[in-house]
Structure 1
Amino acid sequence: MSKAETIRSAKLGKKELRLVRMNGRYFGLAAGVRCAEGENADDVWRQLHDDAGKSDPKYFGFDGARKRFLSFFPNGFHSDGYASQERDYKLAAKAKLDDTAPLEKAVDGTGCGEAVLAVFRATNMLSPFEKTRLQDMLRGTHADDFVQAAARFTLDGSKSDLLAMEQALKPHDNAKWTVATYLPYLWRPDTHMFLKPEATKDFATRVGHRFASEYEARLNLAVYENLLDLVSKTERELADMRPRDRIDIQSFIWVVGDDQEGREAVYE
């Protein structure tokens, strides 16, 4: 029998999670208690997070998430109330982007800064501070670098293009997930996702997904891939609600994870 070897560890709240390899198999331990095992390290690590996350006081699972969303939008994604509050303005911003800075032009084009700035200003998805810093960047020497990198990332999701966005944004103290994911999400809402960190971490905690504990503020491809895993799982769980794209999924995550005090309005 071989000696147990810890190959990965993380904190989930106050619990220490460990992935251990022994005798050719992998075991997931939460606070020393075995919660998962199998032959694939990634699958065991994922299962460990899912099971351990259920002990969080905020956890209510996808059934609870669905119940919360439907308490505000009882007719779901395909309703006038939902469209007016969540979907229509995002579609309008997408149409504006596709018209003024289409993806195929932005990949290697120049001079798209003003058009892209107008698209950022078309929604309330970024904070006023982020928008102010964006104005300086998109009217400066880094504008073309940022827009081109965002377009390339939309097409291939590569680490190098995410890094290129970071390098364009850093001089303006605006290398934020909200900024980096906004354009890919609008250009390709079938494959990309907008990341609003606090609401998304809260949502992940409530449904028991590891994104909540593995999130990093720095633009890191592993974080984005983790986000897409959360999105894919959410899509599967909500299949019967017929989400059309990730605009619907992002709206669901925002409504469930935002948890505004006193939020009571119902939109039918």
Structure 2
Amino acid sequence: MRQSAKQLKPARLNQTANRSSVAYDKLPGARECRRKFLRFFPEGFNDETYIAWEREYKWLAHEQWNELLSEHAHRRMLRAKEFREIANIAIRIESRTNLLFSFEKMALRDAVKTPEGARLFSTELYDFLYGSEKPSNRFERWCDAVGRLPRKQTRVLTWPIVTVFGFIALPEKHIYLKPTVTRTAAKEYGFEFQYQSRPSWATYKSLLDFGMVCRRDLRDLQPRDQIDIQSFIWVLGSDEYEE
């Protein structure tokens, strides 16, 4: 079990990690947000504590996805109409992370118990991840599909649910959205995050843009993928990292 972030005292900044040729004149909070991240993780994205707390379990989930539900494996199971197996694998991989709340995990499990729910989830997930349409169309179709999944009690169409599987499967492209934390982080950074509570491409595109801004400003720290960018945003907005 990882140590609570609240137990970690902000460290002195590592001089190498903190030295940058980047001009922080684009957004008002960029410099202070960077400083906050480095106070907790002085070695930046290579910090051992950062890797243990924020990156490792997300990367392990991605590796499990590649092993069990790669594009080839997903397509093969779709052709065999193994819809329930696809859904079970995806949910099992996510369940080993702390990305979704317990009520969201339960709602998702309930939604794919029926044959139609499993078919809808597995086919539309494949199209979202690997389809040939432009990203906006694929994302909107995925949101529509999640919204049509059978609902027992809790709603399934939430931002964490519609973004978690893309984030695990393709972290070089997709990012994960926790609304409250992300809105707080964007406000601290000075980024005008175009948030709407109902999942839509407009909000997701705004999040991707926020991620691109962070990646640009942190390029000297060499973020590897959206796992690093999402983790940076989490540190900025989560009360786990209050100073």
Tell me how far 1:162 sits from its aligned partner: 2.8
Partner residue of 2:141 out of 163, 172, 176? 163
Q: 1:198 to 1:166 in 2, by over 3 A?
A: same
Cα pair 2:124 2:145 within 8 Å, conserved: no
User: In 2, distance between residues paired with 1:168 and 1:180?
Assistant: 7
In the other structure, the counterpart of 1:105 is 73
Partner residue of 1:200 out of 179, 182, 185? 182
Q: 1:107 to 1:253 in 2, by over 3 A?
A: farther
Partner residue of 2:232 out of 252, 256, 262? 252
Tell me the alpha carbon deviations over residues 163-211 of structure 1, each in whole angstroms, 9 at most, x when there is no partner: 3443334432110111111111111111111111111111111111111
Give the TM-score normalised by structure 2. 0.77
In the other structure, the counterpart of 2:223 is 243
In the other structure, the counterpart of 1:232 is 212
User: In 1, distance between residues paired with 2:228 and 2:95?
Assistant: 21
In the other structure, the counterpart of 2:163 is 181
Q: 1:71 to 1:161 in 2, by over 3 A?
A: closer
Q: 1:101 to 1:165 in 2, by over 3 A?
A: farther
RMSD between aligned residues:
2.2
Cα pair 1:103 1:187 within 8 Å, conserved: no
Q: Please show how residues 3-82 of structure 1 align to structure 2 within 5 Å.
A: 61-82=29-50
Tell me how far 1:66 sits from its aligned partner: 0.8
Cα pair 1:193 1:246 within 8 Å, conserved: yes
Partner residue of 2:127 out of 152, 157, 163? 152
Q: Please show how residues 111-150 of structure 1 align to structure 2 within 5 Å.
A: 111=83, 112-140=86-114, 141-150=116-125
Q: 1:81 to 1:188 in 2, by over 3 A?
A: same
Tell me the alpha carbon deviations over residues 99-123 of structure 1, each in whole angstroms, 9 at most, x when there is no partner: 2211343357233011111012010
Paired letter, 2:122:
V
Q: 1:153 to 1:188 in 2, by over 3 A?
A: same
In the other structure, the counterpart of 1:221 is 201
User: In 1, distance between residues paired with 2:102 and 2:64?
Assistant: 20
Cα pair 1:192 1:246 within 8 Å, conserved: yes
Which one is further off, 147-156 or 174-183?
Answer: 147-156
Question: Greater helix percent: which structure?
Answer: 2
User: In 2, distance between residues paired with 1:195 and 1:243?
Assistant: 18
**Which of structures 1 and 2 has the bigger CA Rg?**
1
- Percent identity, please: 32
Give the TM-score normalised by structure 1. 0.70
Question: Greater strand percent: which structure?
Answer: 1
User: In 2, distance between residues paired with 1:232 and 1:117?
Assistant: 28
Paired letter, 2:96:
A
Q: Which has the higher contact order (CA 8 A, sep 6+)?
A: 2
Give the unaligned 5+ runs of structure 1: 1-49, 55-59
User: In 2, distance between residues paired with 1:132 and 1:216?
Assistant: 24
